[in-house]
C-alpha cells in the first residue's frame, strides 16, 4: 500500500509539473497544439492599451423611458464595436444618462469613435434577385427594392405565436403601414412562402422572413428558430435601427499598451519573487507539508488561469490584484492547517490521525474567512462597474480554487506522502 501511495504521489506531482510546463511554453505535437497561457489569455484595456470614451445622452426622457432608450443605445453601439473585431469591449451604463465604452487594442482611437457615433441605417427591402437573403450576409450580395426604413417602425417587441414559441412583433406608423402593405403585396405576388422582405441593419441582413400573406394592418410577425433572448435581441436592434438618442462625447482617454505591459511584467515578476519567498518559508518551517503546499499553490495558479480562459474573461491589473489576494488566503489556509497538524502530533497521535484531526479543527476558521471574503466579492460584483467587477470575479474564482487546493488537494497529498516516510519531524514537529 505504501508503495502505491508513493507512486500515486509522484504521478500527481508529475502531472501538475507537466501542465505547468505546457501553460508556460505551450505544446505542439504534429498538427495538435496547445497555446501557452500567455497566448490564450485576453488582456484588458489597462494592460493591452486602447481607448475609453464616455458619452452623455442629450434627451428630456426620464425614468423607465430613459432606461429603455439607453439600453437600446448600448445594444446598437455594442454591435458596431464588435464589427471592429476588438477583444472584449466593455460597455457599461453610468448613472441614468451616460454610456462608458472601453475598447482594448484600438490602434486608431478616432476611427473607433467615428464608428461608435455614426447613424445606423435600418432598411426593409423586397428581395428581387435570384440570390436568397440569409441572416448574417452583407446586403451588397442581394438585389432588393427598398420598402421602408427604420424611421417607419413605431415599436418592436417579443411575443408568442399560437405554438407558444417566441416571435418578434412589429408595429409601423401610418406611412410605414402603407409602405409595408405595398411591399408585402409585391412579395406575395412572387408566391406564398417564396417572396422575402429582408431586414437590413448597417448593411448586414439581420433577418430574412418570407411573406405568407399581405399585411395591411400595420403589424407584422417575424417567425424563426428563436429563443427568447435571440428574439429580444432582434427586437432591440429593430427598435433602435438608428441611435434613439443624440450622444455627446464628454470624455476620451487613450491608454498606451507599453505602460500596461510594463505594469503586467512588473506584477508577474513581483508575484514570482513573492511565491519563491513564500515557498522557501513554508518548506523551512513545515518540511514535507511545506513542499506539498508549494505544489498545491502551483495547482491553484493553474486552476485560476485556466478558469479565466474557460470563461473567456479579460485579465486586468485589478484582476491580478484579486488573484494575489486569494493566493494569500490559500497560503493562510495552509498555515492554519499545518499549525493544527503540529499541535495534534504533539498530543501523541499518529500522523494519519493528526492530519485528519488537524484539517477538522482548522476547517471552521478557513471557511469563515473565505465565506466572508466571498460575500464581499459578490457585493463588489453586484454594485461595481468595469475594473471593480474584474477584481471581484478573479477574487471569487481564486477563493473557490484556494478552498479546493487547501482542503482537498493538500489533504490528499499529505496522506499519500505517508507512503514514503512516517517521521514526525519531517511534518513540522520538533518532538
Residue extents of the structural domains in the chain:
2-42+256-427, 50-119+246-255, 122-239
pLDDT tops 70 at residue 91? yes
Whether 2-42+256-427 and 50-119+246-255 share one fold: the answer is no
Domain 2-42+256-427 classification at class level: mainly alpha
Residue 395 and residue 325 in contact, taking contact as beta carbons nearer than 8 Å: yes
Look up the CATH number of domain 122-239. Answer: 3.30.1360.200
> How many angstroms from the chain centroid is the CA of residue 166?
27
What is the average pLDDT across 234-252? 71
Report residue 174 as a C-alpha cell: 401610418
Q: Of 280, 256, 395, 239, which Cα lies nearest the Cα of 329?
A: 395
Question: 50-119+246-255 is classed in which CATH architecture?
Answer: 2-Layer Sandwich (3.30)
Q: How far apart are CA 36 and CA 22, in angstroms?
A: 6
What is the average pLDDT across 144-155? 84
pLDDT tops 90 at residue 86? no
* Residue of higher predicted confidence among 351 and 371: 371
What is the average pLDDT across 335-355? 85
Band (pLDDT 50/70/90 cuts) for residue 90 is confident
- Per-residue pLDDT of 180-235, as tens digits, reads 999 999 999 988 778 899 988 768 887 888 888 888 888 877 776 778 877 876 77
Spatial CB neighbours of 86, under 8 Å, sequence gap ≥ 6: 50, 103, 104, 105, 106, 112
Q: Which pLDDT score is estimated for 141?
A: 92
Burial level of 229, CB count in 10 A (0-12/13-18/19+)? exposed
* Residue of higher predicted confidence among 113 and 336: 336
Q: In the predicted model, what is the mean pLDDT of the chain?
A: 81
Q: Which pLDDT score is estimated for 36?
A: 84
Q: Which pLDDT score is estimated for 375?
A: 93
pLDDT tops 90 at residue 125? yes
Amino acid at each position: 500500500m505504501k508503495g502505491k501511495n508513493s507512486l500515486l504521489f509522484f504521478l500527481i506531482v508529475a502531472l501538475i509539473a507537466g501542465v505547468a510546463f505546457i501553460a508556460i511554453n505551450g505544446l505542439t505535437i504534429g498538427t495538435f497544439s496547445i497555446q501557452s497561457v500567455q497566448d490564450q489569455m485576453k488582456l484588458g484595456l489597462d494592460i493591452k492599451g486602447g481607448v475609453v470614451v464616455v458619452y452623455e445622452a442629450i434627451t428630456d426622457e426620464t425614468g423607465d423611458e430613459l432606461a429603455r432608450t439607453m439600453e437600446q443605445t448600448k445594444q446598437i453601439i455594442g454591435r458596431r464595436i464588435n464589427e471592429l473585431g476588438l477583444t472584449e469591449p466593455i460597455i457599461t451604463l453610468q448613472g441614468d444618462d451616460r454610456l462608458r465604452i472601453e475598447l482594448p487594442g484600438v490602434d486608431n482611437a478616432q476611427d473607433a469613435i467615428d464608428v461608435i457615433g455614426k447613424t445606423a441605417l435600418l432598411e426593409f427591402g423586397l428581395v428581387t434577385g435570384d440570390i436568397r437573403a440569409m441572416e448574417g450576409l452583407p446586403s451588397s450580395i442581394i438585389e432588393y427594392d427598398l420598402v421602408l426604413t427604420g424611421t417607419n417602425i413605431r415599436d418592436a417587441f417579443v411575443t408568442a405565436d399560437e405554438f407558444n414559441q417566441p416571435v418578434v412583433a412589429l408595429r409601423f406608423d401610418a406611412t410605414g403601414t402603407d409602405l409595408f402593405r405595398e411591399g408585402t403585396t409585391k412579395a406575395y405576388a412572387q408566391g406564398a412562402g417564396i417572396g422575402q422582405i429582408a431586414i437590413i441593419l448597417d448593411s448586414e441582413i439581420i433577418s430574412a422572413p418570407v411573406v405568407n400573406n399581405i399585411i395591411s394592418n400595420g403589424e407584422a410577425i417575424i417567425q424563426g428558430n428563436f429563443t427568447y433572448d435571440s428574439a429580444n435581441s432582434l427586437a432591440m436592434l429593430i427598435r433602435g435601427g438608428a441611435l434613439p438618442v443624440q450622444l455627446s462625447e464628454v470624455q476620451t482617454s487613450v491608454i498606451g499598451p507599453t505602460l500596461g505591459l510594463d505594469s503586467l511584467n512588473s506584477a508577474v515578476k513581483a508575484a514570482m519573487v513573492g511565491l519563491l519567498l513564500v515557498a522557501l518559508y513554508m518548506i523551512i518551517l513545515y518540511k514535507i507539508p511545506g513542499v506539498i503546499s508549494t505544489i498545491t499553490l502551483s495547482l491553484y495558479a493553474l486552476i485560476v488561469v485556466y478558469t479565466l480562459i474557460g470563461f473567456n474573461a479579460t485579465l486586468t491589473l485589478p484582476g491580478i490584484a484579486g488573484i494575489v489576494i486569494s493566493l494569500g488566503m490559500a497560503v493562510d489556509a495552509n498555515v492554519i492547517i499545518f499549525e493544527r497538524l503540529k499541535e495534534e502530533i504533539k498530543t501523541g497521535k499518529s500522523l494519519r490521525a493528526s492530519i485528519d484531526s488537524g484539517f477538522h479543527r482548522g476547517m471552521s476558521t478557513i471557511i469563515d474567512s473565505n465565506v466572508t471574503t466571498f460575500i464581499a466579492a459578490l457585493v463588489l460584483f453586484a454594485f461595481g462597474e468595469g475594473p471593480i467587477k474584474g477584481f471581484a470575479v478573479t477574487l471569487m474564482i481564486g477563493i473557490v480554487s484556494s478552498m479546493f487546493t487547501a482542503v482537498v488537494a493538500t489533504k490528499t497529498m499529505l496522506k499519500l506522502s505517508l507512503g514514503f516516510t512516517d517521521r514526525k519531524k519531517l511534518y513540522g514537529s520538533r518532538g
